[in-house]
Amino acid sequence: MEILNNAFVDDEMRVLSESVNATVFKGALRMTAQEMVLSSAFPDILKVDDRLRLVATPNRYVGREADFLSNLDEFLKNGANNTCFDPRLVALLPSSVSPEFRAEIQRRGSEAPNAIEVRAIQSPPLSGGLAFKLHDTYGFPLDLTQDVCRERGVTVDVAGFDEAMAQQKAAGRAAGKFKMDKAVDYSGDANRFTGYEELVHTSKVVALYADGVRVDSLKQGQSGIVVLDTTPFYAESGGQVGDAGVLTAEGFEFGVQDTQKIKADVYGHHGVMTQGALKVGDTVDAKVDQFTRAATMRNHSVTHLMHKALREVLGAHVQQKGSLVDAEKTRFDFAHNAPVTPDQITEIERRVNAEILANAATDAAVMALDDAQKSGAMMLFGEKYGETVRVLTIGSSKELCGGTHVRRTGDIGLFKIVSEGGVAAGVRRIEAITGTNALEYTQGLESSLHSVAATLRAPPAEVQARLGQVLDQVKALEKEIAQLKGKLASSQGDELVNQAVDVNGLKVLAARLDGADAKTLRETMDKLKDKLKSAAIVLAAVEGDKVQLAAGVTKDAVGKVKAGELVNFVAQQVGGKGGGKPDMAMAGGTDASGLPNALKSVQGWVAERV
């Protein structure tokens, strides 16, 4: 990096150039994606993500923020010349550091030293809780805090930091669980999941819960959680919602509204006893709602195909940031720095629907994590995987996934993107639908098209052309109306000349022009000033409750009367304000009822000044 002459920056940049053909300053990206638009590195460098974060975060240059910002500015200005980075990423980098980003760096750069200086004055070590706060709130990794502390002769309570980190992770896991699970204490055997192969299974009830407390039975009308020894119900995981259905046998029925994990391998069936009573030890037929499951599987399977298409169309930097898959839709959040264009959406839809038409078989294989990595299966960044994983191949997509899926891509039926937008800096969200939902959606669009066509009296295929003609006609009519308003106001202006009152040698006129807009007010004002020669004028127009005001003063009088002051005086009486030049000013108001008295007050206001 010849452009980065400072030694401490050059070292870090050398590490980056050796490690990754991706974006720079990853830590900075996370703070202001408005400035550093790429929030994720390419998948092939995920293993060095921690190195990138430590090397690139601006907090590494504590006490040297000015040097960091200067070199960052220099890098951005010359970014296109740095061929060690992917040109697609370099092209997206901003040309300089914004004032907002600069202020953020300076603020963050002062947080840790201030805290550590206080600790150095008092007594070491720096508490683990404070070190964790620096990490969690201000973005300081532990090792960087240790570096700064070491320079000041302060040690860090690493054990306390680890404990605080563990507590936060535990709280995060607890917050993510179904609310009825938080107090459930289950210590029995794991249940067996058969939902990949079947939707109905005869199972035994091994535990029951009501209000989080373990009970022996559930009665009709009572809500609770049922744990089975074996279940075909899928528990919410990996973005896919839990299954619904029924647990039934002669004389009773339990309606399953949701399925959540009590533990990693223990599923809780949440619902209500709709008939009879259920006891621990009872045998039930566990039946998954096949229609809801089928729709959910279509949406989950198409999510994999869409993820693949997004990476092909937008670039390999696209990574999943979150998802929600249910029977209605798939909602997919991903790393990308700009809106997805209509043409790109069309291409994504084309690629996914081509995979659907190919009707390729879906294959799921359980294998060791190392083997999955060697097979080229995509792994989600930040996800924790066990030693054994499930690799799903569907069409041209291969990912690690434990969800339920269609048997063939053709089972998806149809794929349609219904919305795209931003949800956070550097994160976009797509919502898409499949199968009958997609069919109903397109039929609804077609119905709307036919309705519009009927209104325009044109065949559906000619709606766009016909609408263009209508808009042209509307523009022509609007222009004609504006001209007529101008003529009307002009004629009124000619009549207004005779209404001007002489106040100590200055003509004063305050009047209302019906049907005038701002442009007409200004044009009429200019004509009146020419005719009256020496004058102070206020013109008003009303539309509904809104008032438009224009004030004008001839050049010979601006030494005594200012148009801006005059129009503001009138505007305040109609619930508004305004201002402008000494000879011409505009204002608006929201109380038309006050206009008559406001116009009457103009003569007295001018008289006080001339």
Note the pLDDT tens digit of each residue in 8-45.
Answer: 344 444 433 333 333 334 333 333 333 333 333 333 33
For strands 245-249 and 252-263, give the pairing.
antiparallel
The pLDDT tens digits for 43-76 are 333 333 333 333 344 444 444 545 555 655 555 5
pLDDT at residue 17, as a whole number: 39
Q: Do residues 269 and 228 touch, judged by C-beta distance below 8 A?
A: yes
Class of domain 294-441: alpha beta
Kindly indicate the confidence band of residue 602, based on its pLDDT and cuts at 50, 70 and 90: very high
The CA distance from 599 to 605, in Å, is 10
Angle between helix 49-56 and 7-19 (nearest 10): 160
Burial class of residue 399 (count of CB atoms within 10 Å of its CB; 0-12, 13-18, 19+):
buried
User: In percent, how much of the chain has pLDDT > 70?
Assistant: 75
* Confidence tier at 92 by pLDDT (50, 70, 90): very low
CATH class of the domain comprising 181-288: mainly beta
Residue 347, pLDDT > 70, answer: yes
**Residue 169 pLDDT more than 50?**
yes
Dihedral through CA 468, CA 470, CA 471, CA 476, nearest 10?
Answer: 130
Return the pLDDT at 142. 81
At 2, the pLDDT band (50, 70, 90 cuts) reads very low
The predicted structure's pLDDT at residue 491: 73
Distance (Å, whole) CA 139 – CA 594: 56
Burial of 225 (0-12, 13-18, 19+ CB in 10 A): buried
CA dist 589 and 540 (Å) reads 10
pLDDT attached to residue 552: 94
Task: Give the per-residue pLDDT at 176.
Answer: 42
Query: Please, how many CA atoms are within 13 Å of residue 406, restricted to the half-sphere of its CB?
Result: 28
Check the annotation: does 401 bind a ligand: yes
- Report how far residue 547's alpha carbon sits from residue 540's, in angstroms, rounded to the nearest whole number: 7
Q: How confident is the model at residue 610 (pLDDT cuts 50, 70, 90)?
A: confident
pTM here?
A: 0.62
- Whole-number Å distance between alpha carbons of 256 and 248: 10
Strand ranges across the sheet with 546-553: 501-503, 506-512, 535-543, 546-553, 584-589, 577-580
Highest mean pLDDT among 126-140, 142-156, 157-171, 439-453: 439-453
Residue 96 has pLDDT above 60, yes or no: no
CA torsion 139→143→144→146, rounded to 10°?
120
Closest C-alpha among 335, 482, 351 to residue 36 = 335
How sure is the predictor about 324, in pLDDT bands with cuts at 50, 70 and 90? very high
Q: Is residue 332 a contact partner of residue 415, using CB atoms and an 8 Å limit?
A: no
- Are the C-beta atoms of residues 335 and 424 closer than 8 Å to each other? no
Mean pLDDT of 227-238: 96
Distance CA 287, CA 457 (A): 52
The SS3 call for residue 387 is coil
Q: In sequence order, what DSSP letters do the residues of 213-235 get, joined into one string?
A: EEESEE-TT-EEEEEESEE-PPP
Return the CATH number of the domain spanning residue range 485-607. 3.10.310.40
Residues contacting residue 389 through CB under 8 Å, at least 6 positions apart: 366, 367, 368, 369, 372, 400
Least confident of 49-58, 191-200, 404-413, 545-554: 49-58
Residue 293 has pLDDT above 70, yes or no: yes
Structure tokens at 161: 């930091």
Q: Which of 103-117, 405-419, 442-456, 581-595 has the lowest mean pLDDT?
A: 103-117
> How many CB atoms neighbour CB 325 within 10 A?
25
pLDDT higher at 425 or 304: 304
Q: Which helix (DSSP H) or strand (DSSP E) does residue 314 occupy?
A: helix 290-314
The two tokens of residue 388 are: 């054994």
More confident residue, 182 or 24: 182
Q: Report CA-CA distances (Å) from 461 to 23, 439, 444.
A: 46, 20, 17
Report residue 521 as tokens.
């007010």
In whole angstroms, what is the distance from residue 378 CA to residue 316 CA? 12
Mean pLDDT, range 459-482, rounded to an integer: 92
List, as own/partner pairs, every contact residues 378-384 make where C-beta atoms lie below 8 angstroms and the sequence separation is at least 24, other chains included: 378/43, 378/307, 379/46, 380/319, 380/320, 381/40, 381/43, 381/46, 381/49, 381/319
Q: What is the pLDDT of residue 90?
A: 46
CA dihedral 101, 103, 104, 108 (to 10 degrees): 140
300 labeled part of a ligand binding site: yes
Q: Is the pLDDT of residue 123 over 70?
A: no
Q: What is the DSSP string of 490-547?
A: HHHHHHHGGG-EEETTEEEEEEE-TT--HHHHHHHHHHHHHHHSSEEEEEEEEETTEE
The confidence band for 6, taking pLDDT boundaries of 50, 70 and 90, is very low
pLDDT digits (tens, 9 = 90+) for 544-599: 889 999 999 999 999 899 999 999 999 999 999 888 889 999 999 999 999 999 99
Report CA torsion sign: 585, 589, 595, 597.
Answer: negative
Which of 297-301, 514-518, 606-610 has the largest mean confidence?
A: 297-301
Residue 184 structure tokens: 């459930």
- What pLDDT does residue 44 have? 33
Compute the C-alpha angle 28/30/34, nearest 5°. Answer: 80
State whether residue 428 is helix, strand or coil: strand
pLDDT at residue number 197 = 95
The number of CA neighbours under 13 Å toward the Cβ of 511 is 23
Q: What is the DSSP letter of 45?
A: G
Distance CA 373, CA 215 (A): 45
Domain ranges within the chain, ordered by starting residue: 7-172, 181-288, 294-441, 485-607
At 364 the three-state DSSP class reads strand
The tens digit of pLDDT for each residue in 511-542 reads 998 778 888 888 889 889 988 999 999 999 99
348 or 505: which leads in pLDDT: 348
Quick one: which H or E segment has residue 159? helix 158-176
- Residue whose C-alpha is closest to residue 429's, from 438, 441, 417, 439: 417
Joined tokens for residue 248: 């039934």
